Amino acid sequence: MKFLVVDDSATMRRIVINSLQRIGFNDVVEAEDGQQALERFDDSVGFVITDWNMPNMNGLDFARALRSKGAATPILMVTTRSVREDIVAAVEAGVNNYIVKPFTPQVLKEKIDSILPAGATN
Amino acid sequence: MATRAAEELYYDSEATLRLVDTVLDELQVMEAEVAKSEDRVRSLTAHVDQAHAGIAGLPDILMRAHGEIQNVLASLRESRDVLERTTVEKIHHMNDKLREVTSATEIAATDILDGLDRSLALVDQLDTEEGEIDRSSVHAELRNELFAVMGCLQFQDITAQQLSYASSVLGDMESRLTQLAAIFDPASFGLVTETKQEMEAAGPRAFDPAATTQDAEQRQALVDEIFQTGEKNG
């Protein structure tokens, strides 16, 4: 399965990608913001992991844009934002699950497991 | 003889008439000067009258000046209040965030060093040939330690957002203070433009003003609760 990892922090992208590789997902494409992610998104992408606060287009608008295109690809938001209104806005935008930074690899695996069919992760 | 006496009389009379004419001319000149002096005296009198009127009007002028100064002071107090309202709270929040940056970097550095110490101990174990060790389990443990060290580096993203927030508060304050200074010195308008240009040149920045490395578990619990119930706004 191909993952699209979207974050304006190169450090965070590396951490997320390393975490994915550790649970067996090596096919990853990266983007620095929502706008670039929209350009790089295609039918081959099976899972999206996105940050919220990014220049040009934030993660919430990116999620909305994907859903408005009719894409049903699972979206996992990984962000520092943890105010109730923000979390609810993510639910309304069609985000499938949500991780608060800083996170442990275990939490990332649990959230991916909660979205993907059983046994998708090692 | 009589003719001579008549001629003398004629010449004397003529000389006398010339003298009278000269005296009359001099009198005319004096009269003109007297007239000029009168004008000067009138003018001086008028000035003295005006000065009297000016002195009489001085209290009114001072009252108007006092009113103007009071208005300027009121505007300054209002500007100060606006500055206080808009910036003091942000400055306190910014100070908290800067303290958190110090604390987060220290905690991360300690965690990383601890992880590396444990990793080195595991490497030492692998180098030891004495006794029976489960090499595969030590390898797995080493991988986990190194991976955890990588996870500690998440502090960089969070502290970068906190520093971006602090930078934006300082930029905002600088802009407001420069605008205030421009009221007194229009030349400082150039400084405002420069500040804006500098900030724009730094590129777009996106950050969460509330970004924190603290209480991640409690915050994740709130997220999980909302996603389980599927709560929606309104």
Tell me which amino acid residue B91 is: I
Q: How far is CA B81 from CA B72, B74, B168, B183, B215, in A?
A: 14, 10, 21, 16, 35
End-to-end CA distance of chain B: 146
The structure tokens listed for B179 are 């605008």
Q: Quote the minimal CA–CA distance from A90 to chain B in Å.
A: 9
Whether the pLDDT of residue B36 is over 90: the answer is no
- Helix orientation angle between B155-184 and B189-201, rounded to the nearest 10 degrees: 160
pLDDT above 90 covers a percentage of chain B that reads 33
pLDDT digits (tens, 9 = 90+) for A72-89: 999 999 999 999 999 999
Q: Quote the minimal CA–CA distance from B231 to chain A in Å.
A: 6
Whether the pLDDT of residue B197 is over 90: the answer is no
Q: Which residue has the higher pLDDT, A62 or B17?
A: A62
The bridge status of strand A75-79 relative to strand A97-100 is parallel
Whether the pLDDT of residue A115 is over 70: the answer is yes
Whether the pLDDT of residue B193 is over 60: the answer is no
For residue B222, the SS3 value is: helix
pLDDT digits (tens, 9 = 90+) for A1-17: 999 999 999 999 999 99
Inter-chain residue contact A87 with B223, CB threshold 8 Å: yes
Average pLDDT over residues A17-22: 94
**Nearest residue of B to residue A55 by CA position?**
B206
What's CA B123's distance to the chain center, in Å?
A: 58
Q: Quote the minimal CA–CA distance from B220 to chain A in Å.
A: 6
Core vs surface per residue A92-101: b (16+ CB within 10 A) or e: bbbbbbbbbb
Inter-chain residue contact A79 with B208, CB threshold 8 Å: yes
pLDDT digits (tens, 9 = 90+) for A96-110: 999 999 999 889 999
Strand-pair partners of A3: A28, A47
Inter-chain residue contact A81 with B208, CB threshold 8 Å: yes
pLDDT on residue B203: 63
Average pLDDT over residues B169-197: 71
Whether the pLDDT of residue B198 is over 70: the answer is no
The residue count for chain A: 122
Inter-chain residue contact A99 with B220, CB threshold 8 Å: yes
> What average pLDDT does the structure give for chain A?
94
> What average pLDDT does the structure give for chain B?
84
pLDDT on residue B138: 92
The bridge status of strand A75-79 relative to strand A45-50 is parallel
Answer whether B208's CB lies under 8 Å from A79's CB: yes
pLDDT on residue B191: 58
pLDDT on residue A92: 96
What span, in angstroms and rounded, lies between the C-alpha atoms of A119 and B220? 24
Burial class (CB in 10 A: 0-12, 13-18, 19+), A90: buried
pTM for the model? 0.72
Q: How many CB pairs under 8 A join A and B?
A: 97
Nearest by CB: A53 against B208, B213, B230? B208
B171-175 LR contacts (CB < 8 Å, sep 24+): B171/B195, B171/B199, B172/B87, B172/B90, B173/B87, B173/B91
Confidence of residue B187 (pLDDT cuts 50, 70, 90): low
Phi, psi of A51 (to 5 degrees): -80, 170
Whether the pLDDT of residue A54 is over 60: the answer is yes
Interface test with B, best of A19, A80, A85 (most B CBs within 10 A): A80
